[in-house]
Chain A
Amino acid sequence: MQNKLFLLRAERRWTQADLADRLGVSRQTINAIETQKYDPSLELAFRIARLFGQHIEELFTPNGD
């Protein structure tokens, strides 16, 4: 799954630690999502979408699309 997490985080000049703190997860989780090693759970995906004020489908795109 591709995602725009790095882009949105960079726009706000947040570190991975800042974003991890806001979402209540570890820095490793943010790093794994940004590098597409890990697809977040639906619950975390909703939290991310809410934080950035976007819909989930704007943030995450299946690899084939």
Chain B
Amino acid sequence: MTTTADNQKLTRTRLLQMAGGAVLGATLSYTFITTLRHLGLNIKTWPWIDVAAFMEGSIFAFIGLISIAITLSPSLTAKQIDQTPDAPPATRRELSMGRLQGLILFLAGALLLTPLLASAHGANTANAPMLFAIIVLAFLGQSLLNYILWRRADELARIAITNTSSVSFWILQGLLFLAGSAQKLGLLSTFSLWTAMVLTLGVYSIASLVVSYRTCSR
């Protein structure tokens, strides 16, 4: 329940946050890509799906790190979850949830970037099994954190997670059906599991944003 003045202030704050985020994102992306170029990785030569995977992974990792950084300030964290004027600073539990979400997001990004960067940097049959073992361990760790998040979440958060999964499932199974039909008819060439995974994650991310916005935003 807010007044028009509150809403105007909220819109201004959001616009400022978006502008700040755009500047920060552009700066970080430029720095990251320049660093990769110095390491001999030129993403301009990559196939589009790898560029998409790179963008997804980088966005997840950066947002995860920024989320963790925000939890260093209880008042800043409170502003992210409560836009009422009298909002008190975040509690220890809220800070812990923010860190957990940030860590999960960071690990998701790191997990996506690891095979991509390793493959671009020349992973071979000698080091691939070791790399894969690390990825499996990190994936299990991230799954455990996701489970902890689910256990700690309240009913609204659980509904948002469930709705995201449902929306993603219906979109993806529809796309899979259309792609399968097109392939059977010889209209679409085969595509790799990597391509399917990157697209799946992309759809899930967009669904998650839309569902969270519709569920939690004023």
Inter-chain contact A41/B155, CB cutoff 8 Å: yes
**Docked-complex contact A44 and B84, CB < 8 angstroms:** no
0/1 string, B67-102, CB within 8 A of A gives 1: 000000000001001101011100100100100000
Q: Answer whether residue B42 sits at the interface, using C-beta atoms and an 8 A cutoff.
A: no
B1 contacts the other chain (Cβ, under 8 Å)?
yes
CB atoms of B155 and A6 under 8 A apart: no
> Which of A21, A26, A34 makes the CB contact (< 8 A) with B157?
A26
Given contacts A17-B82, A28-B81, contact A38 B91 (CB under 8 A): no
Contact present for B1 and A29 (CB under 8 Å): no
Q: Is the interface of B mostly helix, strand, loop or mixed?
A: helix
Query: In the complex the two chains form, is A38's CB within 8 Å of B1's CB?
Result: no
- By a CB distance below 8 angstroms, the chain A residues around B215 are 32, 37-38
Residues of A contacting B78 in the complex (Cβ-Cβ under 8 angstroms): 17
Instruction: Give the Cβ gap from A55 to chain B, nearest Cβ, in Å.
Output: 21
Q: In the complex where A17-B91, A37-B214 touch, is A31 in contact with B82 (Cβ < 8 A)?
A: yes
Most chain B CB neighbours (cut-off 10 Å) among A26, A40, A44: A26
A29: B residues at CB distance < 8 A = 154-157
Question: Which residue of chain A has its CB nearest to the CB of B159?
Answer: A38
Instruction: Judge whether B87 and A16 touch: CB under 8 Å.
Output: yes
Residue of A with least CB distance to B152: A26
CB nearest to B86 among chain A residues: A15
Say which residue of B1, B81, B214 sits within 8 Å of A26 (CB atoms).
B81
**Residues A16 and B82 in contact in the complex (CB < 8 Å), given A28-B216, A37-B214, A38-B215:** yes
Contact with A along B156-169 (1 / 0, CB 8 A): 11010000000000
Asked whether any CB of chain B lies closer than 8 Å to the CB of A25, the reply is yes
Interface pairs (30), CB distance under 8 Å: A10-B1, A15-B84, A16-B84, A16-B87, A17-B78, A17-B88, A17-B91, A24-B154, A25-B154, A25-B155, A26-B81, A26-B154, A26-B156, A26-B157, A27-B81, A28-B81, A28-B82, A28-B156, A28-B216, A29-B154, A29-B157, A31-B84, A32-B156, A32-B216, A34-B1, A35-B1, A37-B216, A37-B218, A41-B155, A44-B155
Listed in ascending order, the chain B residues whose CB lies under 8 Å from chain A are: 1, 78, 81-82, 84, 86-88, 91, 94, 97, 154-157, 159, 214-216, 218
